[in-house]
Every structure is written in structure tokens, then in C-alpha cells.
């Protein structure tokens, strides 16, 4: 499919990789038009496969088979170069506002098609903050992950027997980082208004992610 608003910022997926993740972002810009301009600016050297406006308009910037430049440094499931193995979706939002209902509905429709086309499970849908904890914060605490999970387009944990927080998150896919880095990223997605030190609720939710949605964690790359 030819992109409706083609960006020059893309390349081939390295090593013949195929999409195995979908990474969600917010634009952190004042308007969708401003974000579109930046994502299509060759000097900016950033892009995404899709950009969704607040009214639900879906703009296609890079073909799904190509490698867009949206993820940057980070890793998931023990491997880096997330750009080569993911599809990136930008949501027009400054990062401080709730996500509009038409925008969320359009995202659900788009995700449903992507997961079907590439035979991906719901746990393949992650946030930029999941793969780059401590460096990135999007799509932020106002994003409704539970809504996506109820639609079968992401996952949501239920409390299990508390376990090893770091080991369980790593088994789910998070990078191997210390608790002080992982906890804010985990809570932003699954306990967005929780405060205080790591507790048994965090451990119980992480254990459920590990047990119900484990992934094959690759050896860390140099």
C-alpha cells in the first residue's frame, strides 16, 4: 500500500526482519499538522508508519514493510534495533491531555488490521516507554491501555502470587535494567497513579505478565 503522506525518512528492515512489535507514541507537539511536517522532514530524520489525528484521521507515512525511524535506542525481549522489527504509530497529543475518543477508535481499527496482517499477539503492542525506560515517557499515563486490552489489542495483568519483579518483567520483554528505572515505566502503563517504593502489588502484576504472556528473551546484544 502506498502511503497517503509519504515520508522520506525510512529504509530497509535490517537482516530481513519482519514486524514483530507495534510501538505506540505520542507526538508531544501542538498539532497533528506540526507533527506531520516534522515526520516528513528529511532534516529531522524521524518518522513513523502511521500518524493518527485527534479526530480519528489516520495518515500513512511509511509502508509497513519498510523500516521507519521512530523507536531510537532501546530494546525489547533482549534485542535492540526495534525499528527493524516494529511498526510505529504516533498519536497526535502534546502528552498532557486525554486521548480523544475518535482517535482511540481509529487506533483500535488500525491495530486490529496490523495484528491480523502480521499474525501478532496482543502482547506485541508496547509503548515507547516500555522499550526505552528512563529515556522515553510516551504514550504516557493518560493513555488507556486497559481499553486496548479489553478489545484484544494489548494485555492487562491481574494480581498473581508476587515474585521477582525484575526477572518477571524481563520475561515479559522489558530491558534488563535496575528497579529504579523499570518501576516508573511499569507503573506508567499498568498503575499510572501509584506512588511510593516497589510493593507487592507491583510484584503481583509483574508475575502475571510473566506467567500469562512470556516471550523468548534473546541474549543481550553488545
**Is 180 an active-site residue?**
no
Contact criterion met (CB below 8 Å) for 107 and 91: yes
Stated pTM of the model = 0.95
pLDDT in tens, 1-57: 668 899 999 999 999 899 999 999 999 999 999 999 999 999 999 999 999 999 999
Q: Is 187 helix (H, G, I), strand (E, B) or coil?
A: helix
Catalytic residue among 90, 108, 158, 180: 90
131-149 pLDDT, tens digit each:
999 999 999 999 999 999 9
pLDDT range class, residue 214, cuts 50, 70, 90: confident
Beta bridge partners of 11: 67
Radius of gyration (Cα) for the chain, nearest Å? 17
Length of the chain: 222
CATH class of 10-150: alpha beta
Q: Where are the domains of the chain?
A: 10-150, 165-212
Amino acid at each position: 500500500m502506498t502511503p497517503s503522506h509519504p515520508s522520506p525518512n525510512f529504509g530497509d528492515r535490517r537482516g530481513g526482519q519482519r514486524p514483530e512489535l507495534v510501538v505506540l507514541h505520542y507526538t508531544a507537539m501542538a498539532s497533528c499538522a506540526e507533527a506531520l511536517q516534522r515526520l516528513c522532514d528529511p532534516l529531522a530524520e524521524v518518522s513513523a508508519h502511521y500518524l493518527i489525528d485527534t479526530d480519528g484521521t489516520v495518515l500513512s507515512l511509511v509502508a509497513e514493510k519498510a523500516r521507519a525511524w521512530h523507536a531510537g535506542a532501546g530494546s525489547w525481549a533482549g534485542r535492540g534495533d526495534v525499528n527493524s522489527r516494529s511498526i510505529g504509530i504516533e498519536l497526535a497529543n502534546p502528552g498532557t491531555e486525554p486521548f480523544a475518543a475518535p482517535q482511540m477508535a481509529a487506533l483500535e481499527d488500525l491495530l486490529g488490521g496490523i495484528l491480523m496482517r502480521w499474525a501478532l499477539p496482543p502482547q506485541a503492542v508496547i509503548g515507547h516507554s516500555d522499550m526505552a525506560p528512563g529515556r522515553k515517557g510516551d504514550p504516557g499515563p493518560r493513555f488507556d491501555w486497559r481499553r486496548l486490552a479489553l478489545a484484544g489489542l494489548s494485555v492487562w495483568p491481574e494480581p498473581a502470587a508476587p515474585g521477582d519483579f525484575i526477572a518477571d518483567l524481563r520475561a515479559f520483554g522489558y530491558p534488563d535494567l535496575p528497579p529504579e528505572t523499570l518501576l516508573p515505566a511499569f507503573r506508567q502503563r499498568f498503575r499510572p497513579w501509584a506512588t511510593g517504593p516497589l510493593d507487592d502489588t507491583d510484584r503481583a502484576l509483574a508475575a502475571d505478565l510473566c506467567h500469562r504472556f512470556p516471550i523468548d528473551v534473546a541474549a543481550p546484544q553488545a
